C-alpha cells in the first residue's frame, strides 16, 4: 500500500544557522514517504534571504518551496500560509530550532493510521542534553499550563509512556490537512504562543484525541525561536476569552496514574513524590544512606526529594562540595521549594559558586516577600475549591484542603 505523502511546514524568522541545520537534518533523516518542504520566511533580515532558496533546492530540489513575507506574520500566520500552499493531505509543522532523528516519521504515521480518534500527534522532544523538553502540556491545579515532566531524562520510563493528553506543542506536530482546517487552523491573534493549545482544544471539542508518540524523537533547542506555552502577555486573555472552559486542571490525575502523589507547595505549585508504598521501601535507606545506592535509586525515582538531600549531605561530608552542589542543582529542578533552595544556596557557597548562591538568595528573598500577601493565598484557595466543586473533582478538593491544613494558619493570617 502506498505511503501517504506529507507536507513539512517550517516557519522561520532569522536564525539562519538553526534553519540550515534543521534542513540538513531533515534531508539526512528524510521521511520514508513522498514529501515536500515548505519554508515560510517571516521577513528575515539575516542570511536567510540570501541562502535559503539555494540550500532548499540543493537538498530537496523540486520538493522545496520558499514563501517570502515582507512582514512578520508570526508563527500562526506563517503556518497557516504554509498549510494553504501544501500539496499533500498530511501536514507536519516543525520549528526551525529542531533536529530530526532516524525514522522519526514512521511512529507518528503509524499512530495516526492505526487510531482514527487521533486528531494530531507529536514526537517526544528532547533538549540537547537528552532531557525532556516536551511530552505533553497539562493544566496544573492552579490552572497554569506546564510541560509534563520537563527536565527528566529522555530514557526514563515516564518519558517513554503514551498517555492521554490535553494539549501538545506545535513545535513538531503531525495532522491531516482537512482536520487542521476543519478545526479552524491556527488562530492568528496570538503572538507566538498558545495557538497550539487552542488548536488541541478545538480538536478535542470535535471528538479527537491528541498524543505524544515517544517512539518518535526530535531534538528541540527550546528558546532559540519564539515558541512558548504562554507567548506574549496578551495571549493568555485571548485564550481565556476564546476558550473559557479550557483550563480544567488534570495534571494531578495524570501523575497519579503514573504512580506519583501530587501535593501543593506554599505557592500552590504542584510538587510530586513517589507513591506511598514506594516511599516506604526507601525509608530504611534514607535512615542510613549510602551514596552509591541512593544515586542508583535517584536514576529511577526522580521525585524522591529526601534522596537528593541525603546524597548531597554525604557528598559534602566526604569533602566533595562540587558534586554536592550538582546534586542539589538537580534536586531544585524537580523540587523548587524554599527548603531545597536554601540547601542549594548553602551548597553553592561551600563549593565557591558565589553567583549561584547570590541568585538563590535573591529568589528566596522574593519568595518571602510574596508570602506576606494573604489575599493572594486566600483567593487562590477559594478559586481552587470552587473549581473542585464545579468539576466534582475530589482529588483536587483533597489537595486544596491539605494545603489549607498545612499552610493556612501561617499564610492566611498575614496582613496583605
The domain limits of the chain are 6-248, 289-370
The per-residue pLDDT for 274 is 97
CA R_g for the chain: 23
Residue 158: Cβ within 10 Å count:
19
Residue 43: per-residue pLDDT: 96
Domain over 6-248 is classified CATH 3.90.550.10:
yes
| The pLDDT value given to residue 233 | 78
Residue 3: its pLDDT value, please? 85
Place of cell 514512521: 106
Q: Splitting the chain (416 residues) into consecutive groups of 10 residues, what average pLDDT does each group show? A: 87 97 98 96 97 98 97 97 98 98 97 97 98 97 94 97 96 98 97 95 97 98 57 85 92 97 96 96 93 95 96 97 98 96 97 98 96 94 96 97 95 67
Neighbours of 233 (CB within 10 A): 9
Task: Give the separation between CA 185 and CA 74, rounded to whole angstroms.
Answer: 14
Which pLDDT does position 411 carry in this prediction? Answer: 93
> What burial letters (b/e) apply to 160-171, b meaning 16+ CB within 10 Å?
eeeeebbbbbbb
d(CA 198, CA 379): 26
Rounded to whole angstroms, how far apart are CA atoms 94 and 171?
5
Query: CATH assignment of 289-370?
Result: 1.25.40.10
Shortest CA distance to 63 belongs to which of 26, 32, 38?
38
Amino acid at each position: 500500500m502506498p505511503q501517504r505523502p506529507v507536507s513539512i511546514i517550517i516557519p522561520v524568522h532569522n536564525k539562519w544557522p538553526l534553519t540550515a541545520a534543521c534542513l540538513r537534518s531533515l534531508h539526512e533523516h528524510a521521511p520514508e514517504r513522498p514529501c515536500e518542504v515548505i519554508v515560510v520566511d517571516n521577513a528575515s533580515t539575516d542570511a536567510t534571504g540570501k541562502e535559503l532558496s539555494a540550500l532548499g533546492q540543493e537538498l530537496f530540489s523540486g520538493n522545496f518551496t520558499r514563501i517570502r513575507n515582507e512582514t512578520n506574520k508570526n508563527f500562526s500566520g506563517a503556518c497557516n500560509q504554509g498549510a494553504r500552499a501544501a500539496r499533500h493531505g498530511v501536514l507536519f509543522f516543525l520549528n526551525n530550532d529542531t533536529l530530526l532523528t532516524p525514522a522519526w516519521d514512521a511512529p507518528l504515521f503509524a499512530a495516526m493510521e492505526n487510531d482514527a480518534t487521533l486528531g494530531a500527534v507529536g514526537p517526544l522532544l528532547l533538549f540537547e542534553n537528552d532531557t525532556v523538553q516536551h511530552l505533553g502540556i497539562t493544566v496544573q491545579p492552579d490552572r497554569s499550563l506546564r510541560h509534563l515532566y520537563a527536565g527528566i531524562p529522555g530514557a526514563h520510563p515516564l518519558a517513554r509512556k503514551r498517555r492521554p493528553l490535553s494539549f501538545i506543542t506545535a513545535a513538531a506536530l503531525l495532522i491531516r490537512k482537512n482536520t487542521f482546517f476543519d478545526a479552524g487552523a491556527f488562530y492568528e491573534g496570538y503572538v507566538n504562543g498558545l495557538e497550539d493549545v487552542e488548536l488541541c482544544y478545538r480538536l478535542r471539542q470535535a471528538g479527537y484525541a491528541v498524543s505524544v508518540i515517544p517512539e518518535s524523537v526530535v531534538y528541540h533547542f527550546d528558546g532559540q525561536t519564539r515558541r512558548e506555552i504562554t507567548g506574549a502577555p496578551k495571549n493568555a486573555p485571548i485564550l481565556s476569552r476564546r476558550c473559557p472552559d479550557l483550563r480544567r486542571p488534570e495534571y494531578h490525575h495524570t501523575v497519579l496514574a503514573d504512580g506519583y502523589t501530587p501535593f501543593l507547595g506554599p505557592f500552590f505549585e504542584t510538587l510530586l513524590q513517589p507513591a506511598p508504598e514506594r516511599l516506604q521501601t526507601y525509608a530504611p535507606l534514607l535512615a542510613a544512606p549510602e551514596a552509591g545506592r541512593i544515586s542508583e535509586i535517584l536514576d529511577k525515582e526522580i521525585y524522591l526529594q529526601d534522596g537528593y538531600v541525603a546524597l548531597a549531605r554525604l557528598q559534602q561530608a566526604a569533602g566533595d562540595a562540587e558534586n554536592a552542589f550538582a546534586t542539589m542543582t538537580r534536586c531544585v529542578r524537580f523540587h523548587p521549594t524554599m527548603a531545597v533552595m536554601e540547601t542549594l544556596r548553602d551548597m553553592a557557597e561551600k563549593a565557591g559558586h558565589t553567583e549561584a548562591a547570590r541568585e538563590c538568595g535573591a529568589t528566596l528573598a522574593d519568595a518571602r516577600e510574596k508570602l506576606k500577601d494573604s489575599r493572594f493565598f486566600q483567593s487562590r484557595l477559594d478559586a481552587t475549591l470552587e473549581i473542585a466543586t464545579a468539576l466534582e473533582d475530589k482529588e483536587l478538593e483533597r489537595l486544596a484542603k491539605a494545603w489549607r491544613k498545612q499552610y493556612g494558619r501561617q499564610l492566611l493570617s498575614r496582613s496583605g
